[in-house]
Amino acid sequence: MKKLINSPDNVVTDMLSGMAKAHADKILWSGPETEVIYRKSKEVKVGVISGGGSGHEPLHAGYVGKGMLDAAVCGNVFASPSPDRIIEGLRRADSGKGVLMIIKNYSGDVMNFQMAGELAAMENIKTDYVIVKDDVAVPDSDVSTGRRGIAGTVFVHKCAGAAAEEGKSLGEVKAVAQKVIDNVRTMGMSLSACTIPANGKANFEIADGMCEIGMGIHGEPGIETKKTGTAAEIAGELVEHILADKDYSDSEVAVLVNGLGGTPQMELYIMYSEVEKILRGKNIKIYKSMVGNYTTSLEMAGCSVTLLKVDEELKHYLDAPVDTLGWKE
């Protein structure tokens, strides 16, 4: 393992400490007991929080700030934060107008955020939640955890945060978040594994010349292991899976080509070019384009493609002012 760390057991604390010091004009850190990043100034409005396991930066702490999240709750690497951490995030975000929790669809996250919401009610903090499940590599299900929440979560943060910034009610902010969830889909692929610091080695391998289509952001198995093709071939396969799941015909979309942490920007732009060609050929108009590392998986090489179908309302929220570490306009 080659990592710039002090101790494998303290990577989250050390990271958040550094983040808060580097951006002291915008954010604060609750400390190692609760590991919450929150806005330096609190406004009277609906609060919006999210969180989950660390290792996906800038998700979630990098999206705390004007126009997006009020607080982000950080678990250990690839591990859900505990309810006591989440309720601290709710306290930091609450101004009396209620707090929306944006939860990625992993069983631990869902259970712990819901539990924290119940505990918050005892402190007269009103909460509600939405669950993001944009990963088309996994079948949706009513009898199991079903689809995972991955890079599409960033669009949910942005639009819900913008709606809250404009003074919308808790119910209205939730409706905006749910509208994004209903219209966003993602498909990813990986070229390499990643190493959780506490493990000291990769917990799986991808052979040279091979890739995994549909791998999750924690290294969950994908749908196919195959020889790595060209960028055009991979882009085609990822987009094909998305379009097979949701009809984007004659739509306007926001496109996110997201790096998983170990793929150069050069390759991400090559992927974007291929995605643009495919969508143009299908008469799908691109309204907004984003290319870069928005939801990572430590040093994993690979990328994902996200499509969000937009209307005038979602365009408005996507274009609203934002000032965070991970997304600026």
| Three-class SS state of 19 | helix
| Closest to 276 in 3D by CA, of 256, 258, 296 | 256
C-alpha to C-alpha distance for 296 and 263, rounded to whole angstroms? 10
CB count, 10 Å around CB of 287? Answer: 17
User: Tokens 């996250």 label which residue?
Assistant: 109
Give yes or no: 218 in active site.
yes
The active-site residue out of 56, 60, 157, 241 is 56
Give yes or no: 316 in active site.
no
- Confirm if 172 and 180 have CB atoms less than 8 A apart: no
Non-local (6+) Cβ contacts of 200 within 8 A are 1, 8
Distances from the Cα of 274 to the Cα of 80, 237, 245, 257, angstroms: 35, 11, 20, 11
Beta partners for 212?
Answer: 190, 225
Give the single-character DSSP code of 16: H
The active-site residue out of 23, 60, 157, 218 is 218
C-alpha to C-alpha distance for 72 and 49, rounded to whole angstroms? 6
Alpha helices in 127-219 (DSSP H): 153-165, 170-183
Element of type H or E holding 27: strand 27-29
C-alpha to C-alpha distance for 208 and 228, rounded to whole angstroms? 9
| Closest to 62 in 3D by CA, of 37, 92, 29, 88 | 37
Non-local (6+) Cβ contacts of 299 within 8 A are 192, 194, 195, 261, 262
C-alpha to C-alpha distance for 235 and 246, rounded to whole angstroms? 17
Q: Which residues are catalytic?
A: 56, 218
